[in-house]
Amino acid sequence: MKILALAFCLVTANALAQPVPTPFQHGGKDAASPIPAFDPGSELVTWNGQHWHVTNQRLFSLEYEKYLSTPEASSTEDVAYHALMSKVQNLLSPANVSAATLDQAFHVLSEMADYQVDGNFSDVLSNQIYISWLALKSAGRITSAATALEAERKRLEWNLQMATTQPALGAGASNKTSKNGVFIPETPSLRQATLIEQIKTRLLEINTLLKSNQGKTEVSKTEARTDFQALLVQFYLQRRFEHVVIGVKFYRSIFNEGNSQLQVGEEAMSLLSKTTGNPPSLSTLDASAREMIQKVRQGVKAFGVLLAHQQMDNANKRLFESFSIGQYLPEIQLVPLSEKLKLLQYVQKTNQLISAIDVLDYALAAELVDSLRTSATDLDLTKPSAAIKTALVASDMHLAQARNAAVAGDKTTLETEMKTAAEIWPTNPKLAEMANAIFTQGNVQSKALVDFDQLVGQKNYRLISDDKLRFIAAVAAVPEKQEQLSKVLENIAQIDKALIQAGEIEKHGDFAGAWEVAETAFKEFPDDTKLNQIRANITVKAATFVNALSSARVLEDQRQFGSALAGYLQARKVYPDSQFAREGIDRVSREMIFDLQ
């Protein structure tokens, strides 16, 4: 963890050396301090007023994911560069180091500067070495260095000549000759043009350096030493550990110092003291750089083993740590793309999982957890699983309460519960289903209520009864309508009962009796279509009785009591059990007697 924190510090310190855009440019008390602070207890890094968890790879996610999707550095140029780097280190090893090997190493260092992958670090180092030799008036070394630079210049000039006059590799002998025999070189290809441009630039640098060196007369030894140390610290902070190791070797040979205290600024001093645990010296810097290289090598090896065992989480941690420490080391650069792509998929999924939980998309989060459970056997998914389950249960509980509130017609609770459920899990499919159901139900309910009012207005209770389930559901939330519907259904039940009774009586051939039952119901519910229809059918069958009774009623209304009474008596003669006739006789008899009195 300490190594990782150091790596973080190195990265951020490196970032300080270059203009880095946002999100770190915040104000605040800590904004004045450019050096990050690491708290091992909380594993938090504080820098520029912000706090990050040290393992939060999203901080470097862009850089890291870019690395994971980049092919391994196995091009001819990369291989050649790494070979030169090994050669320099080998020349400067304690067993081989001598004046000749120093000159040779310096020469190779100048060659390394030609490669893009070097990033001009070798050039800067060789300049510093040359300046230091000047400062110490090391004539032999200066001459040698000047010779090396001159040799480099000549080599570059030759390369330039070849690049401009020779055809591109594989282009064939396509140079043309004009009619008068003048040689016309072919227009250089894009690759050639780029190469020529690089050579020209480097040649210009070499020429400038030679001129500059010739102009220098006196350089202070102390100043040269301090500059060299600062450069080594700078390399260290920029994680160019191989250059640190090479630089230290050159430094020791130039200044004949075993272990000198580094003369650097307070902030750099503080950072190095905290990370190495000792006052910064040339030895600690060298040892630390070597340790970093070693850590990276071990980390990459561990990554390979863990990846083979599908322990993606640990493999990712090891590679991430190694990448953070030694992004520019060959071990990191040579990790095969196929292996990095496996890890990239895992990293993207974990980042997606974090984002899904952040935006409360638990469905996607659950899918990712399931996927990660099979692909990364060592990943601890307890926390995301628990968070997802808790959210699902809580959201569903609120939805259940909302459903109950909807059934009870409690709109306030319904809205509150729906809102809470949506806040917990906005993309809950059940929430969408329920919202849709409520919306649809609302429409259906509104239409049913309109229909109900219309049918009640038309006294078409039969139609209401035929579709009673729809209306029962619709009036569930409207108490006054419930009462109305209840009355309608009671009436229909009464009518149906009368119709059944009439039907049974009719079956026995008692048409007048059946008619009386239907007529009794009809008097109460004259608008029921079914009743009307059955009553009409029975009326035909009991025509004599019905006519007598009807005539009697008409005459009674006309107060022709004698004729009315005769009619009722006649009706009773047809159907002796007639209740209507009996009532008519009683009524008219009384009426007549009282009228006469």
∠ at Cα 573 (569, 574), nearest 5°? 120
- Closer of 209 and 588 to other proteins (Cβ): 588
CB of 502 to other proteins, least distance (A): 27
Number of residues that bind other proteins (CB under 8 A): 21
Amino acid at position 189, single letter: S
- Closer of 371 and 560 to other proteins (Cβ): 560
Which listed residue (562, 577, 579, 587) binds other proteins by CB under 8 A? 562
Given the rule CB under 8 A, which of 61-69, 232-240, 314-322, 560-568 is the region that contacts other proteins? 560-568
Given the rule CB under 8 A, which of 25-33, 454-462, 477-485, 562-570 is the region that contacts other proteins? 562-570
Determine, following the binding rule CB under 8 A, whether residue 295 of this chain makes contact with other proteins. no
Determine, following the binding rule CB under 8 A, whether residue 447 of this chain makes contact with other proteins. no
CB of 574 to other proteins, least distance (A): 10
Q: Are 50 and 24 in contact (CB under 8 A)?
A: yes
Determine, following the binding rule CB under 8 A, whether residue 283 of this chain makes contact with other proteins. no
Determine, following the binding rule CB under 8 A, whether residue 592 of this chain makes contact with other proteins. yes
Q: What's the burial of 477, exposed, middle or buried (CB within 10 Å: 0-12/13-18/19+)?
A: middle
- Distance (Å, whole) CA 185 – CA 502: 120
The DSSP bridge pattern shows strands 176-177 and 37-39 to be unpaired
Determine, following the binding rule CB under 8 A, whether residue 578 of this chain makes contact with other proteins. no
The DSSP bridge pattern shows strands 50-53 and 176-177 to be unpaired
Q: Which of residues 499-558 bind other proteins (CB under 8 A)?
A: 551
CB of 511 to other proteins, least distance (A): 20
CB of 573 to other proteins, least distance (A): 5
Given the rule CB under 8 A, which of 33-41, 45-53, 259-267, 559-567 is the region that contacts other proteins? 559-567
Distance of CA 9 to the CA centre of its chain: 28
Q: 359-370 burial, b for 16+ CB within 10 Å, e for fewer?
A: ebbbebbbebbe
Amino acid at position 351, single letter: N
Distance of CA 36 to the CA centre of its chain: 29
Determine, following the binding rule CB under 8 A, whether residue 584 of this chain makes contact with other proteins. no
Amino acid at position 37, single letter: A
- Partnered with residue 315 across adjacent β-strands are none
Determine, following the binding rule CB under 8 A, whether residue 560 of this chain makes contact with other proteins. yes
CB of 593 to other proteins, least distance (A): 5
**Residue 538 vs residues 6, 96, 221, 501, 548: alpha-carbon distances, Å:** 105, 130, 134, 13, 15
CB of 515 to other proteins, least distance (A): 20
Element (DSSP H or E) covering residue 53: strand 50-53
Which listed residue (47, 522, 561, 580) binds other proteins by CB under 8 A? 561
In the numeric block, the tokens 């070394």 are attached to: 141
Determine, following the binding rule CB under 8 A, whether residue 124 of this chain makes contact with other proteins. no
Distance of CA 54 to the CA centre of its chain: 21
- Distance (Å, whole) CA 592 – CA 597: 9
- Closer of 213 and 563 to other proteins (Cβ): 563
Dihedral over Cα of 462, 464, 465, 466: its sign: positive
- Closer of 193 and 569 to other proteins (Cβ): 569
Tokens of 292: 């970093």
- Distance (Å, whole) CA 447 – CA 453: 10
Which listed residue (68, 565, 580, 584) binds other proteins by CB under 8 A? 565
Enumerate residues 6+ apart whose C-beta is below 8 A from 205.
123
Phi, psi of 50 (to 5 degrees): -120, 160
- Closer of 223 and 583 to other proteins (Cβ): 583
Determine, following the binding rule CB under 8 A, whether residue 573 of this chain makes contact with other proteins. yes
CB of 490 to other proteins, least distance (A): 38
Which listed residue (263, 482, 566, 587) binds other proteins by CB under 8 A? 566
Tokens of 316: 């990712």
CB of 486 to other proteins, least distance (A): 44
∠ at Cα 404 (399, 408), nearest 5°? 145
Determine, following the binding rule CB under 8 A, whether residue 590 of this chain makes contact with other proteins. yes
Which listed residue (254, 572, 580, 584) binds other proteins by CB under 8 A? 572
Determine, following the binding rule CB under 8 A, whether residue 278 of this chain makes contact with other proteins. no
Given the rule CB under 8 A, which of 92-100, 368-376, 384-392, 564-572 is the region that contacts other proteins? 564-572
Given the rule CB under 8 A, which of 261-269, 279-287, 413-421, 567-575 is the region that contacts other proteins? 567-575
Tokens of 281: 């010296």
Which listed residue (146, 168, 569, 587) binds other proteins by CB under 8 A? 569
CB of 539 to other proteins, least distance (A): 21
Distance of CA 363 to the CA centre of its chain: 12
- Closer of 336 and 576 to other proteins (Cβ): 576
Residue 63 CB neighbour total at 10 angstroms: 14
Which listed residue (336, 559, 577, 583) binds other proteins by CB under 8 A? 559
Widest CA span in the chain: 164
CB of 541 to other proteins, least distance (A): 22
Determine, following the binding rule CB under 8 A, whether residue 309 of this chain makes contact with other proteins. no
- Site of interaction with other proteins (CB under 8 A): 551, 559-563, 565-567, 569-570, 572-573, 585, 589-590, 592-593, 595-597
